Each structure stands twice: as C-alpha cells, then as structure tokens.
C-alpha cells in the first residue's frame, strides 16, 4: 500500500508539475550572429610576450587568436584562444606595454562602402574600383527585386571549392520572387549583348558602264574616186 501511494504521488508530480518543455516559450530568445575583429598570431616571439602578459599557463602554443568581443578595440575584457589546446582565456588586465602594441591592431576591409539606401543607379558614376562597385550594385538590384522590406543581413564567402551564402534577421513573408523583373532583366541583358557586338558592315556599289567607239581599218586595193 505504501509503494502504491508513492507511485501515485510521483505520477501526480509528473502530470501536474509544469515541465521545462511545456514552459519553453517563457525562455525563448533569438539566435543571431555578428562579425568581430580577430587578431591571429603565429610569431613565436609575440606569442611568448603575450602569454607572459596575460598569465596563460600553456606549454605548447603554435597559434594565438585575440578576439575583440566588444568591437571596441583590442584590450581588457577580450578573449584569447590558444592552439592546439583550443583553450579560451579571459583578458582581465593589460599592461601599458601590451596595450600600446594592441592599439595598432585594426581590421581594414579591402573594400567597404556605406551609402544612403537609395536607387543603385546613383552609384554607377564611380570610376574607382569599378569591379567592386559593380558587385555591390548588382547585389542591391537583386535585393530590390526579391525583398523590399527592412532589415536584412547577408553573408557571402567563396573559396576555390565552395560558396557559402547566408541570410538572417529578415521578414520571410516579404521574400518574394518577381517574374516580371526577372523577364525584364533577361530581355535587357539580351538587348545589351546584341547592342555591344562589334560588327563591321560593308556597302557594295556596282557600276555599269557601256563604252562605244569607232575604229577605222585601212583596206588596200580601194581607190578613191575623184570628182
């Protein structure tokens, strides 16, 4: 009887007590991603210096990554990732010597543009770094045809073997394919291809001419009659 009471009590706890799965809506959040500067170090001399500065108790270190977590410049409250152990350490204190060294670390993109959200054709006049601007403008035009809402975040990576493209933080209901825009683009590209063909045309002129002339031939034996 005692075992039966305990079993009934346990079943009652399972049925009546709200589980974490039942209340998971109360603990929901949103997972996103961000890009942060990372300083990758392979110099043995620099690795030794920073290990002493940050009091890192490692014996074998082939590579070190300093992660600017707050995107406010490298320094205190950032993270250090050590290879090959893959251990992560928190930078609590930074000496003046180390901070002066880290102040020179700054990520600079090969190409970056921050422009007003307007018609992409406005940017067509840029003559500097034309290929990079064309990639940017083509992306804006494609985005304008297929997604007209805000905001949206994109990420594109390509190497010799793979291409990775990601989109997030956008309204999926506003992601729509416009067949009219696609057909117009295809027609425009066709007309552009035809108009830019380098062709040479030749005009042929035919001239017809008839030549009439008189030839006098002397025939011996003929006598002239004098009057």
CA dist., res. 44 & res. 64, Å (int): 10
Nearest to 136, CA basis, from 150, 117, 149:
117
Q: What does the pLDDT profile of the chain (227 residues) look like in tens digits? A: 444 444 444 445 555 555 556 666 677 788 888 889 999 999 999 999 999 999 999 989 999 999 999 999 999 999 999 999 999 999 999 999 999 999 999 988 888 888 787 777 776 666 677 788 888 888 888 888 899 898 999 999 999 999 999 999 999 999 988 776 655 455 555 555 444 444 445 455 555 555 555 556 656 655 555 54
Count the helices and strands in the chain (H runs, E runs): 5, 6
C-alpha pair distances (Å), 115 with each of 130, 133, 184: 16, 12, 26
pLDDT of residue 115: 79
Q: φ and ψ at 60, to 5 degrees?
A: -115, 115
Q: At what angle do helices 179-195 and 130-146 cross, to 10 degrees?
A: 150
């Amino acid at each position: 009887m005692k075992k039966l009471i305990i079993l009934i009590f346990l079943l009652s706890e399972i049925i009546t007590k709200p589980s974490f799965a039942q209340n998971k809506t109360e603990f929901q959040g949103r997972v996103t991603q961000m890009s942060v500067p990372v300083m990758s170090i392979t110099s043995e001399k620099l690795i030794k210096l920073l290990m002493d500065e940050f009091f890192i108790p490692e014996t074998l270190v082939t590579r070190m990554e300093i992660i600017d977590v707050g995107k406010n410049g490298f320094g205190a409250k950032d993270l250090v990732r050590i290879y090959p152990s893959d251990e992560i350490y928190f930078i609590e204190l930074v000496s003046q010597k180390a901070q002066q060294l880290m102040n020179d670390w700054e990520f600079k993109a090969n190409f970056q543009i921050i422009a007003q959200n307007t018609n992409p054709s406005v940017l067509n006049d840029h003559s500097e770094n034309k290929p990079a601007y064309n990639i940017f403008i083509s992306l804006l035009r494609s985005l304008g045809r297929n997604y007209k809402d805000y905001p949206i975040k994109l990420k594109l990576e390509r190497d010799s073997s793979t291409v990775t493209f990601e989109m997030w933080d956008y309204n999926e209901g506003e992601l729509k394919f416009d067949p009219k825009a696609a057909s117009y683009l295809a027609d425009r590209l066709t007309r552009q291809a035809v108009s830019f063909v380098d062709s040479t045309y030749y005009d042929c002129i035919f001239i017809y001419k008839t030549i009439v002339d008189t030839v006098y031939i002397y025939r011996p034996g003929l006598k002239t009659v004098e009057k």
